[in-house]
Structure 1
Amino acid sequence: MVHRILGNIVRNKLNTGKAIILMGARQVGKTTLVKELFKGSDEMIWLNGDELDVQNLFENVSATRLKYILVNKRYVVIDEAQRIKDIGLKLKLIADELPEVQLIATGSSSFDLANKVNEPLTGRKWEYKMYPLSFAEMVQHHGLLDEKRLLPHRLVYGYYPDVVNNPGDEKEILKQLSDSYLYKDILMWEQIKKPEKLLKLLQAIAFQIGNQVSYSELGQLCGLDSKTVEKYVVLLEQCYVIFRLGSFSRNLRNELKNSKKIYFYDNGIRNAIIADFSLSESRSDIGALWENYIISERQKKLEYDKMWRNSWFWRTTNQKEIDYIEEGDGQIRAFEFKWNPSAKYKTPKQFSESYPDSTFSVVTPDNMDEFLL
């Protein structure tokens, strides 16, 4: 079993007087992590928010009934908590009436869960995001050399735990995930009436990895207006399927100020959406796959290591570009991502002159461990 970085982080926050909220896409390992934490314990009660009787239990629950349900339980886990109506108020009720109980809630959509727990649990929760397996976790599992040898495979199939743990079944697992399960919460949301439009939008985004995107252009490709496209993109981001990078702009008049790029949290999901699992050695989009992989892995590292950085890309109207910018602790760090280690790249003069105190690095498969570990 692959050890998850969040395991120790969550374990160290148990019994500190605050609820623990664990969010991430479906099937990234949230349930497995929590079950491992309480393996063999009879002091834990597990409630699955996807089950109707659990939803009904919380419908009109009182503090008195909660005390009877949770008697002699030290830990209460509510899995898929976003499915429970007014979950924030229910968590607050448990926290107020049973302060000796450690609450752990997991959820697969922040638009439901975070919005409903933030106000009731202000200052009374630890909140963490969980992603598919990471490069760092796999290096810890079987060593740097083996994981780097598997890089061409990871670029195609990604890091979902089921995918990693079931070699040979990658395509079938990813097809099931990308068909509907990953978007279950979005499709249940009452305003999402046309799931086929959602898939077309994801396909359009998948083909534009590494490029700037326009909501109006995406809308033309999938038959939606630009406002609906933006709404869907936000929902997909809140379900941890994709994430956006904005454009970095400080000093130059010709810097793009309102542009955006969209990446997938997992390469395997991206490739499943466009039905392309061809070998990385033969792919024309290998540069885009590498860029998506390395940026998504960096987001995992920033989150798990609690590195407070803003992430951007940089581009000017005359097409000068840098793949990735990080800004934190008063320093600007610029990175270019090249799949071919021998590829030449020079920092755009406009950038180095405008930001003379910035640093610049080229990240390739040869030195990726410096960037991700």
Structure 2
Amino acid sequence: MYREILTDLINWKNKDRRKPLLLSGVRQCGKTYIIEKFAQDNFKNYVYINFEKSERIAEIFDFDLDVKRIITEIGRQYKTDIIPGKTLLFFDEIQECPKAITSLKYFCEDLRELHVVCAGSLLGVALRQQNISFPVGKVNRLQLYPMNFKEFVIANDRSDLIETLKNWTTDREIPKLYSEPLTKLLKEYYIVGGMPDVVKAWIKNHDYEEVEEIQNEILSDYADDFAKNAPISEFPKIRWVWDSVPVQLAKENNKFVFSHVKEGKRAADLEDALQWLNDAGLIKKTELVVTPELPLSGFTDKTYFKVYFSDIGLLRAKSKVSPETIINETELYRRYKVAFTENYVLTELISRGKEPYFWRSGNTAEVDFLYEQKGNIIPVEVKAADNNQAKSYKQYCKKYTPAKGIKLSQKNIGENLCESTPTFSIPLYLAWNIDAY
């Protein structure tokens, strides 16, 4: 399936000052598949080492970190020549071999002409928990996320919709010829999400029961990761926090509150569990910006944040909201519809390279997301329906006069002008093209 990160991988391959590449991403988001696809299309051969499955290979790194000796011994084990410029060397689940992580420094310094890629599902957790000598400044880094909506549309054989709308005139409404299939696909994306195995099953059979079965298997695998990789003392706390995220996100004031996770528990009891989930890539925190000035990271209240899932489909499955509920959009689904829509926009912004925050003025006004773009702060108002009344957004614009802004809702395209801020109103299904506005 098409993944946008392939372009980034090719750019990395052709860099003059290329370093070993560290590819991070939540478990089962497609890291191994995409590197193998990249290798097959761009190299004469590649060597794949999974340190989780091939534990004995780690012994090659025990003697010393002479990278020429290392690749000679690896080549002998796999009965192939490892040739700089022609071979891709792929270390998978590298967190299982700390010395292999350390060796990246020497691959960078002594054998930079060899293309080396590393991946790890729980690398963030491992680096925090283990005493690993990380090669700071000696690696390039990329992050792979679950499939975004654009990739989902292309996987559903509707790349024509993407091609048609990517250069669409910004003041022209979108006719039903395009809006209706995109609206349908967006509902399906809320149900299926972007985990590649789930998307693959959906494309093949269009069976919601099969989709939910695979999603529940992934959620069970994540729970097994908690038990296997988390400190024993943190395991139950991680489960409590994980179970609490969908419920708290659906609250009207969806600030994450530690005391709502488990009765009698406070932030000091649960902060490490929340950080574990964040390091594992399973959740994403967005912090409150008190004063929207550049850089946004310098004006946050780190004690006041929201928590989202990394994948909208897994959030839907974890919340036990049926596919029929999303398709029919019943009124009883109103609160979770808002939560799902916010989570969808959050993951779309992240997949576009944004670092989202949010703004709130007491309990009276809130702008869902803020991000930096070429020296500007872009406010993004998110509406789950076609109601485009946005009092909080207008209050923000009046107070801070941003240069431009975005409203995402079910309404068709249009340009609405606040008193001081040019604001594009675009459909939710165009969040992937937000930079065009």
Partner in structure 1 of residue 249 of structure 2: 209
User: What's 1:137 paired with?
Assistant: 151
Q: Once the two structures are aligned, what percentage of the paired residues are identical? A: 21
C-alpha spacing 1:42/1:228, structure 2 compared with 1 (3 Å): farther
Q: Take 1:107 and 1:209, find their aligned partners in 2: how far apart are those partners?
A: 28
Instruction: For residues 30-55 of structure 1, give each alpha carbon's deviation from its aligned partner in whole angstroms, at most 9, with x where no partner exists.
Output: 10011111228663211002122234
1:226 matched to which residue of 2?
267
C-alpha distance after superposition, 1:227-252 (max 9, x if no partner): 24211111111111111111111179
Q: What does residue 305 of structure 1 align with? A: none
State the match for 1:29 in structure 2.
Answer: 30
Deviation at 1:126, TM superposition (A): 1.6
Pick one of 102, 109, 122 that aligns with 1:89: 102
SS at match of 2:248: coil
The aligned residue for residue 4 of structure 2 is: 5
Pair 1:298–1:69, CA change in 2 (3 A): same
1: CA distance, partners of 2:132 / 2:231: 23
**Which residue, 338, 350, 356 being the options, matches 1:299?**
350
Letter in 1 for 2:274: V
Higher relative contact order structure (alpha carbons within 8 Å, sequence separation ≥ 6): 1
Which residue pairs with 1:352 in the alignment?
397
SS in 2 for 1:318: coil
| Aligned pair partner of 1:102 in 96, 105, 115 | 115
- Structure 1 residue 110: Cα displacement: 3.9
TM-aligned CA distance change 1:288 to 1:334, over 3 Å: same
Structure 2 Cα separation of the partners of residues 49 and 351 of structure 1: 51
- Tell me which moved more, 166-175 or 315-324: 315-324
Deviation at 1:262, TM superposition (A): 0.6
Unaligned stretches of 5+ in structure 2?
A: 76-80, 162-177, 294-298, 413-426
Match of 2:287 among 237, 240, 246: 246
Return the TM-score normalized by structure 1: 0.86
Q: Aligned-pair RMSD on alpha carbons? A: 2.9
Counterpart contact for 1:81–1:113, Cα < 8 Å: no
Aligned partners of 2:348 and 2:431 also within 8 Å: no
Cα separation, partners in 2 of 1:310 and 1:256, compared to 1, 3 Å: closer
Question: How far apart, CA to CA, are the structure 1 residues paired with 2:38 and 2:351?
Answer: 21
Q: CA separation of 1:277/1:83 partners in 2, compared to 1, >3 Å: closer, same or farther?
A: farther
In the alignment, structure 1 residue 332 sits paired with structure 2 residue 377: yes
Give the TM-score normalised by the residue count of structure 2.
0.74
Distance of 2:117 and 2:309 partners within structure 1: 27
- Structure with larger Rg: 2
Q: CA deviation at 1:152?
A: 1.3
Partner of residue 50 from structure 1, selected from 43, 52, 68? 52
Q: Which residues of structure 1 form unaligned runs of 5+?
A: 303-308
Q: Which residue of 2 aligns with 1:260?
A: 305
Please tell me whether the aligned partners of residues 347 and 360 of structure 1 are also in contact (alpha carbons under 8 angstroms): no
Query: For the residues of structure 2 that align with 1:62 and 1:122, how far apart are their CA atoms?
Result: 16
Q: Which amino acid aligns with 1:171?
A: E
Return closer, same or farther for 1:225/1:58 CA change in 2, 3 Å cut-off: farther
Q: Does 1:162 align with 2:197?
A: yes
1:270 match: secondary structure: helix
Alpha-carbon contact 2:289-2:300 (below 8 Å) kept: yes
Describe the superposition over 1:10-40 as per-residue Cα deviations: whole angstroms up to 9, x where unpaired: 1221264410111001111110011111228
Specify the SS of the correspondent of 1:213. Answer: coil
Contact 1:157–1:163 (CA<8 Å) still a contact in 2?
A: yes
Q: Is 1:14 aligned with 2:13?
A: yes
Show CA shifts across 1:99-156 (max 9, x none).
Answer: 4421100111242466689975333322000011111223444233445422112112
The equivalent of 1:69 in structure 2 is: 73
| Residues 363/328 of structure 1: CA separation in 2 closer, same or farther (3 Å cut) | same
Alpha-carbon deviation of 1:185?
A: 4.8
What do residues 37-91 of structure 1 show as CA deviations (whole Å, max 9, x unaligned)?
1228663211002122234443445536414224421321001111212432122
Deviations 1:153-176 (A, max 9, x none): 211231111111102211111111
Cα contact 1:171–1:272 (8 A) shared by 2: yes
Give the SS at the match of 2:401.
Answer: coil
| Aligned residue pair count | 361
- 1:368 aligned onto 2:370: no
In the other structure, the counterpart of 1:286 is 337
CA distance 1:81–1:183, shift in 2 (3 Å): farther
